[in-house]
Structure 1
Amino acid sequence: MTPANRLRALLAEGRLLTMPCCYDALSAKLIEQAGFDLTFMSGFAASASRIGQPDLGLMSYAEVQDQARNIADAIAIPLIADGDTGYGNAMNVRRTVAGMAKAGAAAVMIEDQLAPKRCGHTPGKDVVGREEAFDRIRAAVDAREEGADILILARTDARHTLGLSEAIDRAAGFAELGADILFVEAPKTEAEMRAICSELPLPNMANIVEGGETPDLPPAKLEDIGYRIAAYPLSLMAAAMQAMVETLDCLRRGTPRDEHLMSFSELRRRIGFDDYYAASERYASSRRD
């Protein structure tokens, strides 16, 4: 099946899909190796990893598409790509959606923030007017209908400045326009999360940021509320950064660092050295490498 069809099949199962988010090809491979069914390229984490900058709209469309292509090439599980605001007007949204499909993404997220966008759990964000928000999703759906084999994840950040009712109304409009998955960002209570899932018709995604605004509920609770995808955008990056900072501190102080490190043999295996060597046995010239 195509990546999009694999994602459609997962959503049709009707269960909660726990989705650790990646930021590069290696983190995506680790997610797949751990047995998860899908992943999401976190814009926050990808911006930090690729350009060492915060998620404030600094990465270009070409950089994001290239990052998505590298990730999709490394894994077999479906990848949802972060398309931000679509990188311009409605015509840019069409190009973004088509480009993410060509990069191998199973779905692309398009949101209604003002450009330049920012992380949904940081200060200063705002949204465009309703009609412009609808135009973005209309353009995304048009790109899909004209041949881009990809699902549309429609996101609204309206809860932050305009309230939950406006956010739900916008998401309902996205559904009517043909979006496949809905994402109301940053509800503040379990009651708000229940309202979202009870009032909106499509599969809904929860975004669980440790220390963020949305309650960090256990997966069983999220499934009971009605969510179909639970995204964890920063868990892996936060864990990796903590381990790196601790290891660097050990190196600076000259103290043992083994407890923070994966073994060299495990490192090689997970990156793919063992698979490479096994496959290369078929070719005499490769065996000399």
Structure 2
Amino acid sequence: MTQPDKLRALLAQDKLHVMPCCFDALSAKLIEQGGFGLSFMSGFATSASRIGEPDLGLMSYTEVVDSARNICDATTIPLIGDGDTGYGNAMNVRRTVRGFARAGCAAVMIEDQLAPKRCGHTPGKEVVGRDEAFDRIKAAVDAREDDDILILARTDARHNHGLSEAIDRAARFHELGADILFVEAPKTVAEMRSVCADLPGAKMANIVEGGETPDLSHAELGEIGYAIAAYPLTLMSAAMRAMTLTLQALAEDKPRDPMLMDFVELRRRIGFDAYYEASSAYKSSFRST
């Protein structure tokens, strides 16, 4: 089964799929080891981890696709890639979608923000006009003629234009062929219910701890009607907190063991055990390790 087919099979289930978001190959491996069925390569987290900069359009298309390829090579669960605004006009969107498909992604997200885009829960974001927004999704859908991949269509219109405009845009995205709809940053449970009641197909919620959208339980999100609940910053935030606390302990010459993963488990999760098992079939392997 291809990665797009795996994702289609998940979306066909009448349930909420909890989707922790990754930012590199290792975090993606941990998500798969944790038993989760899919992941999303968070643009916010990937920009922070790869180039140490905020998610404000600073990371290039080539860098993003390279990160997606590394993640897909390291895991077997479906990955949704963050295609941002498509990196240009409609023809650039087509290239972006093909690039993510050929990197191994099951789906790619294309959004209607004005470039350079911003995190959906930070100030200053704006969206392009309807015609340009629709052209982006049409171009993304057209690109599937050459490479099979699902399209996650995102609108940030709620921020400046209200929920009705966001829902209208998302409805048109569905008509154009988008597989998953993402109305970013509804501010209340009532708005979340409107998104799911008024729009067809699979919908995704984006849960940012401390963000604008209510952080509901999985049961509540499923009852409202979401098919996917994305957690874009949870793992990166946890990792950054753990690293800063450990660095503080190291600087103060305090015990670090309580904050560290056991070395045996660390090696296993990275893949040392699997490597040695596979390489044991080749007599010369251990001379080069």
How many pairs does the alignment contain? 288
- Give the equivalent residue in structure 2 for 1:261: 260
Instruction: Write out the 4+ residue segments of structure 1 that deviate beyond 6 Å after TM superposition.
Output: none
SS of corresponding position for 2:202: coil
Tell me the amino acid that sits aligned with residue 264 of structure 1. F
Deviations 1:105-129 (A, max 9, x none): 0000000000000100000000000
Quote the residue 1:61 is aligned against: 61
How far has the Cα of 1:72 moved from its partner? 0.5
> In structure 1, what is the equivalent of residue 182 of structure 2?
183
Matches of 2:201 and 2:99 in 1, distance apart?
24
Please name the residue that 2:78 is paired with. Answer: 78
1:243 aligns with 2:242: yes
Instruction: Please give the residue correspondences for 1:1-289 in structure 2 after superposition, counting only pairs within 5 Å.
Output: 1-144=1-144, 146-288=145-287, 289=289
The one-letter amino acid of 1:33's match is: Q
Q: Quote the Cα distance in structure 1 between the aligned partners of 2:277 and 2:105.
A: 29
1:35 CA drift (Å): 0.3
Q: Partners of 2:257 and 2:188 in 1: how far apart?
A: 41
Q: Deviations over 1:164-206 (max 9, x none)?
A: 0000000000000000000000000000000000000010000
**Residue 147 of structure 1, CA deviation:** 1.9
- Aligned AA for 1:14? D
- Amino acid in the other structure paired with 2:39: T
RMSD between aligned residues: 0.5
Aligned-residue offset at 1:24: 0.1
Deviations 1:218-239 (A, max 9, x none): 0000000000000000000000
Provide structure 1 residue ranges, at least 5 long, that are not aligned to the other structure. Answer: none
TM-score w.r.t. structure 1 length? 0.99
Superposition deviation, residue 14 in structure 1: 1.7
Q: 1:287 Cα shift?
A: 2.7
Structure 2 distance, partners of 1:14, 1:74, is 28
Structure 2 Cα separation of the partners of residues 61 and 73 of structure 1: 18
Q: In 2, distance between residues paired with 1:93 and 1:280?
A: 42
